[in-house]
Amino acid sequence: DIQMTQSPSSLSASVGDRVTITCRTSQNIRRYLNWYQQKPGKAPNLLISGASSLQSGVPSRFSGSGSGTDFTLTISSLQPEDFATYYCQQSYSTPMYTFGQGTKLEIK
């Protein structure tokens, strides 16, 4: 099974900061890496698929990059509504759609 390692597990930042979250996989997954945002009490929301394809309606301050085993999610200028938990997920080695353990982004 592919192991997913997200870092950091939690992060404190201020509105306007640039933030980067990293996801590392134990095997080459090419670009089959997706990012989700989950706010408290809500279902996850797909932000980015295929490592860098922004979903419709997602603000352009979100971006994704990487391939192989190392991936990043970047928020260029944090907004109050961005404070949430972020998960990476691989869809290369199916049927096990493995998720990272999550990164909780909190207000400093």
Partner 1 sequence: EVQLVESGGGLVQPGRSLRLSCVGSGFTFDDYAMHWVRQAPGKGLEWVSGISWDSGSVGYAASVKGRFTISRDNAEKSLYLQTSSLRVEDTALYYCVKDGGSRLFPSRSALDIWGQGTMVTVS
The footprint of partner 1 (CB under 8 A) covers 32, 34, 36, 38, 42-46, 49-50, 55, 87, 89, 91-92, 94-102
Terminal C-alpha separation, the chain:
36
Q: Which is nearer to partner 1, 18 or 30 (CB)?
A: 30
How far from 82 is each of 4, 21, 77, 94, CA to CA, in Å?
A: 23, 13, 10, 30
On whether the CB atoms of residues 73 and 20 are closer than 8 A, the answer is yes
Q: How far is the CB of 39 from partner 1 (least distance, A)?
A: 12
Q: Which is nearer to partner 1, 72 or 98 (CB)?
A: 98
